[in-house]
Amino acid sequence: MNEKKINPRKISAVKDFTCVLPVLIFLAVFTYYPIVELLRISFTDWNLLNDTWQYVGFKNWNWLFAGSGNKYLWNSLKVTVLYSIGELSITLIGGMIFALIFNRMTNSFAAMRAVIFMPKYVAMSSAAVVFLWILNTDSGIFNYLLSLIGVSPVDWLGDRNMALISVLMLTGWRCIGYGMMVYLSAMMGIATDYYEAAALDGANAVQRFFKITLPMLSPTTLFLFVTTFLSSMKVFQSVDILTQGGPYRSTEVFVYNIYRYAMVDFRMDRASTVGIFFFVLLLIVTVATMKVSNGNVTYDS
Amino acid sequence: MSAETTISADVRNESAKRKKKIMAAIQWVLAIIVLIVIVFPIYWMLVSSVKSQEEILLATPTLWPKEFHFENYVNVLNRGNFAKYYWNTTVMTAGILIAQVVTGIFAGYGFSKGKFKGQGLCFIIVLGALMIPLQVTFIPIYIMMANWGMSDTFLGLILPEAVSPYYIFMLRQTFMSIDDSYIEAARMDGLGRVGIITRILAPMCKSTLFTVTLVTFTNGWNAYFWPKIIAKGESRRVLTVGLAYLKNTFAGGESMNNHEIMAGAVLAVVPVIILFFIFQKYMLTGYSKAAMK
C-alpha cells in the first residue's frame, strides 16, 4: 500500500527527467568538464614528451601576453579577423547579390538555385583538394586562364599575400549559395503590398531595394551575420588542407594556432592557455552579437 | 482628352513590359555566368579524375578529356587504403547519426512535452553547450580518450559527437508546435513516452526531423577536425582525412598525380551529392531552417 503514497505526478516528472538525463551527463563530461580541465592545464607545464608535470603558476599566461607567444597570438587574431571579414562579406553581400539575380520563381531558376547551393554539401576536404589543383602554380587551370589575358603565373598558396585570399576563394565558393538561399526565403516573406505602394509613389527599382527590401531583411542579415561570424572564427579545415597555416604563418587562424601547439609541438600547456583565451573571445563575441541583435532591427509588424 | 490619357497609359504599359523583358534577360545572363563559375570546380574535379597523367600535365589544359581513364578510380582505391577509409567513414557516420537521433529525440521530448523541476535550467545547460565548440575543448577530450584507450577506435571517433545541442534545440522547437491535446489523447489510450515519441511526435514532425537528420548525416560524413586528432593512425582514418593525406603519399609528386587525387575527391563526395539530389527539397532548407526559429 505504500506505493499509493507516491505522487503519480512525481513519477511522471522523474520519467521526463530521465529523458534528458543522458544528454546532461554527456554535456557535463564532454563539454563543461573539459573547460575546467583546460583552465587547469594552462597553469601546468604539461608537455606530452615528458612523463611528469607540475603547476607553474602564471608562467604560460606570462608567455602568452608578455613572452614569445604574444607575437603569434596577435598574428592569429589578425588573420582570423581578416578571414572573418572576408567570409562575412562574401556571405552577406555576395549572397544578397546572388539572391537578387536568382529571384525568379520559375522551374529553371529553381534548378539553378539548387546547383548554386550544392557546394555547401561538398565535403570541405574534397573541395580543398580540388582548389589545390585549380590554383596549382604550374599546371593549374586558374593560372592558365589568367595567362590568356596576359597575367603572369601567381603562386596562390605559396605567396604570403595571396594565401589568405586563396582560402577565402574556397570558403566563398562553399558559402555564397547558403547566403543566397537564406536571403531568398526571407525575400519571399515580404508582403507585396509594400512594393505596390512604393510603385504607386513612383519609386524605381533601386529605391525600392534600399527603402524596402534591405530594411525588411535586416533580421535575416543579422542572423546571417551572427552565425557566419561565429563559425568563421572556428575555421580550421580549409586552412589545414590548403596551406597548413603558412606561408610564414600568414594563414594561421586561431584554431590552427592552438592545433599547432597541441598536436605538432605537443605543448598541451601552451595550447590550453591559448584555448582558454579563444574560449573567452568566443564568449565575448557571442554576448556582444546577442546584445546588438536586441536593438536596431526592423521587424514586419 | 480622355483618349489621350488612355494612349499614354498604353505607352507606359508597353514600356513597362519592355523593361520587364530586359530585366529578365539581364537576370538570365548573370545567372548563367554565375552558374558556370560555381559549377566549374565540380566539373573540373570530374574531368580531371578521368584524364591520364600526361594529359593533366599539358601546358594547355584540355576542357574535355581526350581519353577516359576510369582505372584512376581503381588505382586510388588501392592506394592508401581508400576502401578502408570508406568503411571507417560509413561506420563513424552511422554511429554519430544513431546516437544523435536517439539522444536528441528523447531530450527534445523532455524539454518540450515533459514537466520536471529545473527544466529551464537544464535547457540552459544545453544551449550553453552551443557556445563551447570542440575546437576549444579538444585538448582535454583528446587526453581523456587517449587515457581510456580510445585513440584509433570507432568509439573514439563517435563518442564526442554523440550529442548535438543543435539537434536537441531544433527538435524541441518542433515538438513545442504540436498541440498538447494530442499527447493527452495518446496518454488516455495508454501510450507510454516511447509510444508518444515514435507514434505521435515523430510522424507529425516528419519533415523537420528528416531535414535535421540529413544535416547531421552530412556533418558526420564530412567531419574532419576531430577524426584527424583522434584517429591519427592508418587503421581508423576516415575519408576526409585520408584524402588530405593522399597528396602526401605521392612524396613531392603531388601535382603529377592530381588525376588520382581528383578521383579520390569524387569518391568522397558521391554519397552526399546523391542524397542532395534525391532529397533536394529537404536539403535546401536544411541549413537555413534555424533562421526561421
Nearest-CB residue to A138 (from B240, B255, B285): B255
pLDDT digits (tens, 9 = 90+) for B137-148: 999 999 999 999
Which pLDDT belongs to residue B248?
Answer: 66
* For B241, nearest residue in chain A (alpha carbons): A125
Looking up cell 508518444 gives: B196
- List C-alpha distances in Å: B253 to A5, A98, A250, B53, B256: 77, 39, 25, 11, 5
A126 touches chain B (CB under 8 A): yes
What gap in Å lies between CA A251 and CA A257, rounded to an integer? 10
Residues B171 and B219 reside in one and the same domain: yes
Q: Specify whether the CB–CB gap between B111 and B168 falls below 8 A.
A: yes
Domain A71-293 belongs in CATH node 1.10.3720.10: yes
Query: What DSSP designation does B233 have?
Result: S
B contacts of A118 (beta carbons < 8 Å): 42, 273, 276
Q: Nearest Cβ partner of B269 from A101, A126, A272?
A: A126
User: Which residues 67-96 in chain A show a CB within 8 A of chain B?
Assistant: none
Residue B63 counted as domain residue: no
Q: What is the pLDDT along chain A (301 residues), one digit of tens a residue?
A: 455 567 777 888 888 898 899 999 999 999 999 999 999 999 988 888 777 888 888 888 989 888 888 889 999 999 999 999 999 999 999 999 999 999 888 888 888 998 999 898 888 889 999 999 899 888 888 989 998 898 888 888 888 889 999 999 999 999 999 999 989 888 887 877 888 888 888 778 788 888 888 888 888 888 889 889 988 999 999 999 888 887 888 899 999 999 999 988 888 999 999 999 999 999 998 888 888 776 555 444 3
Question: What is the C-alpha to C-alpha distance for residues B165 and B126, in angstroms, rounded to an integer?
Answer: 6
* CB–CB contact A117 B284 (8 Å): yes
* Minimal C-alpha gap between A1 and chain B (Å): 23
Q: What is the CATH number of the domain that holds B242?
A: 1.10.3720.10
Q: Which three cell numbers stand for residue A51?
A: 612523463
Distance (Å, whole) CA B279 – CA A137: 38
Q: Cα Rg for chain A, rounded, in angstroms?
A: 25
Q: Whole-angstrom Cα distance, residue B121 to residue A269?
A: 33
Helix (H) / strand (E) containing B80: none
- B112 and B156 part of one domain: yes
* Cα nearest neighbour of B118 on chain A: A17
What is chain A's mean pLDDT, rounded?
87
Query: Please, which pLDDT band fits residue B285 given cuts at 50, 70 and 90?
Result: low
Q: What is the pLDDT of residue B261?
A: 87
- Residue A199 in contact with partner chain B when CB distance is under 8 A: no
Helix A107-117, helix B2-49: angle, nearest 10: 40
**CA–CA min distance B1, chain A (Å):** 23
Q: What is the pLDDT of residues A216-228, one digit of tens each?
A: 888 888 888 988 9
Question: Which range marks the domain in which residue B245 is found?
Answer: 74-292
Establish if B57 belongs to a structural domain: no
User: Which residues sit opposite A44 in a β-bridge?
Assistant: A55
The answer to whether B216 faces chain A, any CB pair under 8 Å, is: no
Q: Tell me if A183 sits within 8 A of A271, measured CB to CB.
A: no
Q: Does B110 touch chain A (CB under 8 A)?
A: yes
Same domain, B209 and B121: yes
pLDDT tens figures, A56-84: 888 889 898 888 888 899 999 999 999 99
Spell out which residues of chain B touch residue A128, defining contact as CB-CB under 8 Å: 244
Number of domains in chain B: 2
**Is A163 in contact with A247 (CB distance < 8 Å)?**
yes
Q: Check whether residue B26 and residue B161 sit in a common domain.
A: no
Residue B69 inside a domain? The answer is: no
B121 touches chain A (CB under 8 A): no
Mind telling me how many Å the CA of A67 is from chain B's nearest CA? 22
* B54 within some domain: no
* Residue A44 main-chain phi, psi, to 5 deg: -115, 180
Same domain membership, residue B84 and residue B44: no
Q: Which residue of B has its CA nearest to A21?
A: B107
More confident residue, B59 or A72: A72
ipTM value for the complex: 0.87
Residues 6 or more apart whose CB falls under 8 angstroms from that of A125 comprise: A237, A241, B222, B224, B239, B240, B241, B243, B244, B265, B268
Domain residue spans in chain A? Answer: 1-32, 71-293
Tell me what percent of the residues of chain B surpass a pLDDT of 70. Answer: 89
Using left for φ > 0, alpha for ψ between -120 and 50, and beta otherwise, residue A143 falls in alpha
CA-wise closest residue to B260 among B42, B43, B45, B40: B45
Shared domain check, B150 and B25: no
Residue B59, domain member (yes or no): no
Residue B172 belongs to some domain of the structure: yes
- Please report whether residue B126 resides in a domain: yes
- Banded pLDDT at B289 (limits 50, 70, 90): low
Residues B89 and B147 in one domain: yes
| B 253-292 residues inside an 8 A Cβ radius of A | 255, 258, 261-262, 264-266, 268-269, 272-273, 275-276, 280, 283-285, 287-288, 290-292
Residues of chain B numbered 56-75 and touching chain A (CB < 8 Å): 56-61
Q: CB B133 to CB A141 under 8 A?
A: no
In Å, how far is A298's CA from the nearest CA of chain B? 16
pLDDT for res B202: 85
